A and B are shown apart, each in its own frame.
Chain A
Amino acid sequence: MKLTRRRFLQTSAGGGAFLAGAMPHIWSKNSDLVWAAGGEIKVGVLFSLTGTTAIIEESLNKATILAIEEINAAGGINGMKIVPVIEDPASDPATFAEKARKLVAGDKCVSVFGSYTSASRKAVLPVVEKQKNLYWYPTLYEGRECSKNVIYTGAVPNQQQDEFIPWLIKNFGKKFSMIGSNYIYPKEENNYCRKLLEKYGAEVVNEEYVPLGHSEFSSVINKFRQQQPNVIFSTVVGDSVVALHRQYKAAGLDPAKMPMASLTTSENEIAAMGGEAAAGHFTSAPYFEVHKSPENEKFVAAYKKRWGADKVTHFVSEACYFQTYMFKQAVGKIGKGDITPNTIREAVKGVEMIAPQGKVRLDGENLHTWLWPKIAQAKSNGQFEIIVQSKEWLKPDPYAAYPNQVCTEKGLVEKKV
Chain B
Amino acid sequence: MHFVLEQVLTGLSIGSILLLVALGLSIIYGTIGVINLAHGEFIMLGAYAAWALKTYVGLSLLPGLVLIFLGVGLFGWLVERILLRRLYRRPLDTILATWGVGVVLQQVVRLTAGGDLRYVELPPSMASSVSIFGVEIAAYRIFIFVVAALLFLVSWSIMNRTTFGLKLRAVVQDRNVASCFGINADRIYSLTFAYGAGLAGLAGAIVSPLKSVSPEMGTGYVVDAFMVVVLGGVQSLFGTVISAFALGEVTGVIAFLQNDTIAKATVLILIISVIRFRPQGLFVAKVRA
Question: A-side interface residues toward B, CB under 8 Å?
Answer: 52, 54-55, 58, 182, 208-211, 213-216, 218-220, 222-223, 225, 239, 242-243, 246-247, 249-252, 271-274, 276-277
Stretch at the interface among B78-86, B147-155, B207-215: B207-215
Residues of B within 8 A of A220 (CB): 255, 260
Residues of B within 8 A of A216 (CB): 14, 17, 251, 260
Taking the nearest CB of chain B, how far is it from the CB of A106, in angstroms? 28
Given A218-B10, A252-B138, output 7 extra A-B contacts at Cβ < 8 Å: A55-B117, A55-B214, A208-B259, A208-B260, A209-B261, A218-B13, A219-B255
Question: B-side interface residues toward A, CB under 8 Å?
Answer: 6, 10, 13-14, 17, 115-119, 121-122, 126-129, 136-141, 209-212, 214, 216-217, 220, 251-252, 255-256, 259-261, 263-264
Residues of A within 8 A of B139 (CB): 250
Most chain A C-beta atoms within 10 Å of own C-beta, residue among B122, B129, B217, B260:
B260
Residues of A within 8 A of B117 (CB): 55, 239, 242, 272-273
Q: Ordered nearest first, which 3 A-B pairs have the shortest CB separation?
A: A252-B129, A272-B117, A219-B255
Contact B256 A222, beta carbon cutoff 8 Å: yes
In the docked arrangement, what's the CA distance between A214 and B153, Å? Answer: 29
- Name 17 interchain pairs, CB-CB below 8 A, sorted by A: A54-B115, A208-B259, A209-B261, A210-B259, A210-B261, A211-B264, A215-B220, A216-B14, A219-B252, A219-B263, A220-B260, A239-B117, A239-B212, A243-B212, A246-B211, A252-B128, A252-B129
Beyond A215-B211, A218-B10, A250-B209, is A272–B116 a contact (Cβ under 8 Å)? yes
**Contact among B14, B210, B260 with A250 in the assembled complex (CB-CB below 8 Å):** B210
In the docked arrangement, what's the CA distance between A54 and B116, Å? Answer: 9
Contact A246 B116, beta carbon cutoff 8 Å: no
In the docked arrangement, what's the CA distance between A249 and B256, Å? Answer: 20
In the docked arrangement, what's the CA distance between A219 and B259, Å? Answer: 8
In the docked arrangement, what's the CA distance between A47 and B136, Å? Answer: 44
Beyond A243-B212, A246-B210, A252-B128, is A209–B259 a contact (Cβ under 8 Å)? yes
Residues of B within 8 A of A271 (CB): 116
Taking the nearest CB of chain B, how far is it from the CB of A202, in angstroms? 22
Beyond A215-B220, A239-B214, A250-B138, is A55–B115 a contact (Cβ under 8 Å)? yes
Contact A243 B211, beta carbon cutoff 8 Å: yes
In the docked arrangement, what's the CA distance between A274 and B116, Å? Answer: 12
Contact B127 A250, beta carbon cutoff 8 Å: yes
From B216, which residue of chain A is reached at the shortest CB distance? A52
From A216, which residue of chain B is reached at the shortest CB distance? B14
Residues of B within 8 A of A246 (CB): 119, 122, 209-212
**Contact among A209, A213, A219 with B256 in the assembled complex (CB-CB below 8 Å):** A219
Residues of B within 8 A of A208 (CB): 259-260
Contact A239 B255, beta carbon cutoff 8 Å: no
In the docked arrangement, what's the CA distance between A216 and B251, Å? Answer: 10
**Contact among B138, B211, B260 with A242 in the assembled complex (CB-CB below 8 Å):** B211
In the docked arrangement, what's the CA distance between A275 and B55, Å? Answer: 15
Residues of A within 8 A of B17 (CB): 216
From B217, which residue of chain A is reached at the shortest CB distance? A239
Contact A250 B119, beta carbon cutoff 8 Å: no
Contact A272 B216, beta carbon cutoff 8 Å: no
In the docked arrangement, what's the CA distance between A251 and B139, Å? Answer: 8
In the docked arrangement, what's the CA distance between A212 and B214, Å? Answer: 15
Taking the nearest CB of chain A, how far is it from the CB of B208, in angstroms? 9
Most chain A C-beta atoms within 10 Å of own C-beta, residue among B141, B210, B251:
B210
In the docked arrangement, what's the CA distance between A215 and B138, Å? Answer: 16
Taking the nearest CB of chain B, how far is it from the CB of A278, in angstroms? 10
Contact A211 B261, beta carbon cutoff 8 Å: yes
Residues of A within 8 A of B126 (CB): 250
Beyond A223-B256, A271-B116, is A215–B14 a contact (Cβ under 8 Å)? no
Contact B10 A250, beta carbon cutoff 8 Å: no
Residues of A within 8 A of B136 (CB): 225, 251-252
Taking the nearest CB of chain B, how far is it from the CB of A214, in angstroms? 6
In the docked arrangement, what's the CA distance between A215 and B14, Å? Answer: 11
In the docked arrangement, what's the CA distance between A274 and B138, Å? Answer: 18
Contact A247 B6, beta carbon cutoff 8 Å: no
Contact A222 B6, beta carbon cutoff 8 Å: yes
Taking the nearest CB of chain B, how far is it from the CB of A107, in angstroms? 27
Taking the nearest CB of chain A, how far is it from the CB of B252, in angstroms? 6
**Contact among A214, A239, A251, A274 with B260 in the assembled complex (CB-CB below 8 Å):** A214
In the docked arrangement, what's the CA distance between A225 and B17, Å? Answer: 21
From A209, which residue of chain B is reached at the shortest CB distance? B261
Most chain B C-beta atoms within 10 Å of own C-beta, residue among A211, A216, A225, A243:
A216
Contact B209 A272, beta carbon cutoff 8 Å: no
Contact B220 A273, beta carbon cutoff 8 Å: no
In the docked arrangement, what's the CA distance between A208 and B17, Å? Answer: 23
Contact B260 A219, beta carbon cutoff 8 Å: yes
In the docked arrangement, what's the CA distance between A214 and B14, Å? Answer: 13
From A241, which residue of chain B is reached at the shortest CB distance? B212
Residues of B within 8 A of A277 (CB): 119
Beyond A219-B255, A246-B210, is A55–B116 a contact (Cβ under 8 Å)? yes
Contact A274 B121, beta carbon cutoff 8 Å: yes
**Contact among A52, A55, A209, A222 with B10 in the assembled complex (CB-CB below 8 Å):** A222
In the docked arrangement, what's the CA distance between A246 and B6, Å? Answer: 20
Taking the nearest CB of chain B, how far is it from the CB of A283, in angstroms? 17
Residues of A within 8 A of B10 (CB): 218-219, 222
From A54, which residue of chain B is reached at the shortest CB distance? B115
In the docked arrangement, what's the CA distance between A227 and B118, Å? Answer: 31
